[in-house]
Amino acid sequence: MDYASMFRLDGRVALVVGAASGIGQASAQALAALGAEVVCADVNRAGAEATAGLIADAGGRAEADQVDVSREADVVRLVSGVAERHAALGVCVVTPAVNARKPILKYTAEDLDRVLTVNLKGTFFVLREAGRLMAERGGGSIIAFASIRAVQVEPGQSVYSATKAGIVQLCRTLAAELGPQGVRVNAVAPGVVDTPLTRQIKKDEAWYRAYADRNALGRWASPEEIAGPVAFLATDAARYITGSVLFVDGGWTAIDGRFTPPL
């Protein structure tokens, strides 16, 4: 057994949706470093192109595309384009999410539609289209993004949490449906990560510190620390893992985190 080759992605094409920044950008770079040719897609075309440029500067291969995951036709166009340009799609990572931090009693219909459309419907569209293509061509690995909020909530996180729990169930169901075709589907559930989505928290020192203290490692994660598990799930090292949720949370869901009692 060549164990080193199990952690390589040479000759495979990886589509990363949400590649312009944060976890998506780091994931695209990690996959490229393992040998994949990466399609960097994002609603922010300039950001996607910048990520592709970073990969090229590091000696990797990448191309950029633009996609709005909230628009079904746009996702269909993106994946169809990948199918036309490449023999097979080996990996698909989907990261985009938005949040509206407010109590349920203050949620508007517009807030509800925006969070559901981007997080749940957008992820669904990508899972469906990538899953269809991989099933037709005999295999692949799909990685979608859940969150610790899929299992642990707090005030102001209602709809965001519901969408992340929904993504877990979508992944499990698609894993069951496409397992016979050799397609693996898993979810990654990060804890607190230093990304544009958490900018509101970082501006409040007490809030930022409270979240750091909530996990076993006592700090936030960097996007690169989430990209490593993504890359693992993409490779053959994880070829018997499907329908799973990988928590990358510094131990948040494993401990109480509020008080260490005298023992």
Choice among 160, 208, 211, 240 that is catalytic: 160
Backbone angles phi, psi at 183, to 5 degrees: -100, 125
Residue pair 126/92 in contact by the 8 Å Cβ criterion: yes
Q: Is 204 exposed, middle or buried (0-12, 13-18, 19+ CB in 10 A)?
A: exposed
160 given a catalytic annotation: yes
- The single residue listed with the structure tokens 């496409």 is 178
Specify whether the backbone of 139 is left (phi greater than 0), alpha (psi in -120 to 50) or beta.
Answer: left
Amino acid symbol at 209: R
Provide the residue count of the chain.
263
The residues carrying an active-site annotation are 160
